[in-house]
Amino acid sequence: MKDIKVLICIIILFSSNVLLADSPLTSTPFHEKYTDVDIVLQAEQLGTINREIANYLHDVNNPVDIKAAVINALGWDINGKNNAREYTMIIYNSYVISDDMISASTDEAFVLGYLHAMDNYQDPDYALPYLKMAQQSNSKSYTVNLIYRLVKAQKAMDTDFCKAWNQVNKVYLNDDLNIDMREDARKVIYDYMINYKGYCK
> How far is residue 126's CA from residue 40's CA, in Å, rounded to a whole number?
25
pLDDT of 104: 57
- The domain ranges of the chain are 2-197
103 — phi, psi (to 5°)?
A: -90, 5
Contacts of the segment 85-92: beta carbons below 8 A, 24+ positions apart: 85/119, 86/48, 86/49, 86/54, 87/49, 87/54, 87/57, 87/111, 87/112, 87/115, 88/112, 90/49, 90/50, 90/51, 90/54, 90/55, 91/54, 91/55, 91/58
pLDDT of 3: 55
What is Dmax (Cα atoms) for the chain? 63
pLDDT of 10: 37
pTM of the model: 0.88
Q: pLDDT exceeding 70 applies to what percent of the chain?
A: 85
Average pLDDT over residues 42-70: 98
Which range has highest mean pLDDT (13-22, 86-95, 101-110, 118-127)? 118-127
